[in-house]
Structure 1
Amino acid sequence: MRIWSLHPSVLDRQGLIACWRETLLAQAVLLGRTRGYTRHPQLERFRAHPDPVAAVGAYLCGLHQEATARGYRFDAGRIERPPEPGAVVEPLAVTTGQLAVETEHLRAKLARRSPEMLETLEARLVAASPEAHPLFRVVPGDVEPWERGAGR
C-alpha cells in the first residue's frame, strides 16, 4: 500500500489510480469493514488524526479533484465522509525527509513506466521542493517512523 504524501498532480496515471484504490482500502480499514491491512504502517498517520475517517475522506477528495482535472471519472460517492463545503479538515504533518524519500521512490517508478511524467516531475522540482498533498502541512524532519525500510 502506498498512500503518497506527494501532491497527486505529480503521479502518473497508474500511480493516481493505485493511490485511489489503496486509499479506498484504507478507508474501509478505518471504518472496520475489512480484516486485512489493519496493521499497515501507512495507516498510522490517519489513526493519529482526531477524526481518521474525515482525514482519509479529505485525502480522497484531493485525489478525486486531480482525477477530475485529468478527465478521469473516479466515483466520489465512494468517499464515505467527504468534507462539507467550506469545512477544513485539520491537516496532517508530513516531514521534509518523508517527501524526499517518496520523491526518490516516485522517480524510480516513473523512470520505468512513465518517462514523460518523470520529466514533468523534474521540471517542477527545479523550481521548488516537492509539493505535498493538500491534506498535509510540511514540517522539517527525517523520514516518518512508519515508512518501511526507513532504517528504524
Structure 2
Amino acid sequence: MRIWSLHPALLDRRGLVAGWREALLAQAVLAGATRGYLAHPQLERFRADPDPLAVIGAYLVHLADEADARGYRFDASRIRMPVRDAERLAVTTGQLAHEHGHLLAKVAEREPARAAALAASDPAPHPLFHAVDGPVASWERP
C-alpha cells in the first residue's frame, strides 16, 4: 500500500489511479470493513487523528479533484466521508523527499518524458498535509 504524501498533481496516471485504489482500501480498513491490512504502518498517521474516516475522506477528495482536472472519472460516491477541509496532518520534509525519489524512480521507468519534469519539481505535499522539518517517517518501510 502506498498512500502518497505528495501532491496528487505530481503523480503520473498510474500513480494517481493506484493511489486512489489504495486509499479506498485504507478507508475500508479504517472503517472496519475488511480484515486485511489492519496493521499496515502507513495507516498510523490516519489512526492518530480523532476522526480517521474524515481524514482519509479528505485525502480521497483531493485525489478525485486531481482526477477530474485530468479528465478521469473516479467514483467519488465511494468516499464515505467526503470532507474537503479536514484538519491538516504533518508530514516531514524527509518523508516528502523520500517519496519524491521513490516516485521519480517509478516514473522514469513508466514515462521517461514525465520524469524530467518531476525531477525538476519540488516535493509539494498533498493538500491534506503540511510540511515540517524532519527525517523519513518511522512508519516508512526501507
Partner of 1:11: 11
Among 101, 104, 111, the alignment partner of 1:104 is 101
Conservation of the 8 A alpha-carbon contact between 1:110 and 1:118: yes
Q: Deviations over 1:44-84 (max 9, x none)?
A: 0000012100000000001000000000000000000011x
Please report how far the alpha carbon of residue 120 of structure 1 lies from its aligned counterpart in structure 2 after TM superposition: 2.0
Match of 1:135 among 122, 128, 134: 128
Opposite residue 88 of structure 1, the aligned amino acid is D
Taking the aligned partners of 2:38 and 2:88, their CA distance within structure 1 comes to 22
Larger deviation, residues 113-122 vs 2-11: 113-122
**Runs of 4+ residues deviating >3 angstroms:** none
Give the superposition deviation at 1:124. Answer: 2.3
Task: Extract unaligned runs of 5+ from structure 1.
Answer: none
Q: Percent identity?
A: 64
RMSD: 0.9
Letter in 1 for 2:40: H
Match of 1:54 in 2: 54
Q: Partner of 2:5: helix, strand, or coil?
A: coil
TM-score normalised over the length of structure 2 = 0.97
1:90 is aligned to 87
Aligned length: 142
Match of 2:72 in 1: 72
User: 5+ unaligned residues in a row in structure 2: which ranges?
Assistant: none
2:138 counterpart (139, 145, 148): 145
Task: Output one character per residue of 1:73-128: Cα deviation in whole Å (capped at 9) or x when no partner.
Answer: 00000000011xxx621111000000010011011101101112212212323xxx
Give the CA deviation at 1:24.
0.1
